[in-house]
A and B are shown apart, each in its own frame.
Chain A
Amino acid sequence: AIRMTQSPSSFSASTGDRVTITCRASQGISSYLAWYQQKPGKAPKLLIYAASTLQSGVPSRFSGSGSGTDFTLTISSLQPDDFATYYCQQANSFPLTFGGGTKVEIK
C-alpha cells in the first residue's frame, strides 16, 4: 500500500498568515492526490483534487501543487473558518490511503 505522510502534524497560526502543508507519498502517484478539510464532528470536505484542481465552491485562497511524491496545500491568507484538520489522499491505486492529518490551530 502507498503510505502518505503529512507534515507537520499540527501547528498554530494567525488569521492572515500564509500556511503550507506538505504531503509525501511513499511511491510516485502522478497527480492523483486530493486534499480535504475536516472540522470537529463534521464530515470531510473535498478542497482540491488532481493535485491542483480547486473543487467547485472552494475559496481561491486554497491552492495545491506537486506531482510524483511531493505535494503541498497552501492557504494564502488564513481565515477564521480555516482552522480545521487537513488530510491528503492518494487516488493512484487501491487501497486508497490518507495522510495522518494536519491540525491547524489558532495562535
Chain B
Amino acid sequence: EVQLVESGGGLVKPGGSLRLSCAASGFTFSSYSMNWVRQAPGKGLEWVSSISSSSTYIYYADSVKGRFTISRDNAKNSLFLQMNSLRAEDTAVYYCARGSNSGLVQGEYFPHWGQGTLVTVSS
C-alpha cells in the first residue's frame, strides 16, 4: 500500500523559513516523480512544485519560485520542500503527492496523496 506521510508544518512568522518532509513507502520511490500541492483554508487546490524521479527536472509555480526549493533523497525514500521568505499567503495545508510517471512529462497526475501538513504564516 502506498503511504505518504508529511511532517514539518507549523506556525512561522512572515519572512521565516520552514522545511517540509514527506516519507514515502509501499512503492519504488526512485521510479516516480513527486509533487507538492497546497490548499489555503477554504480555498481550492494549487500546484506548488514537481521533481522528476532522478531530480533532473524541477518545476515551480510562479508564486513560490525563488523562495521554495524542492528536493528528494531516493536512498531515504523522502521528499522535501524548503520554504524561505514565507508570506501570509503561503498559509495552507501542504500535500505531498506521488506522480504517475518517472519524468515530468505530459500526463502528470496525482494518484496518491499524503494527509497533508498545515503551514501557518502569521506574526
Contacts and interface: CB of A to CB of B under 8 A. Distances in A.
Interface of A: 1, 30, 32, 34, 36, 38, 43-46, 49-50, 55, 87, 89, 91-101
> B interface, how many residues as a size bin?
20 to 34
Interface centre among A44, A97, A99 (most CB of B within 10 A): A44
B45 A94 contact: no
B80 to A, nearest CB: 19
21 contacts: A34-B110, A38-B45, A43-B95, A43-B113, A43-B114, A44-B37, A46-B110, A49-B111, A50-B107, A87-B45, A89-B47, A89-B109, A89-B110, A91-B107, A95-B59, A95-B60, A96-B35, A96-B47, A96-B108, A98-B45, A99-B44
Contacts of B100: 49
A105 to B, nearest CB: 15
Contacts of A46: 109-111
Nearest to A100: B44
Nearest to B112: A46
B62 interface: yes
Contacts of A97: 47
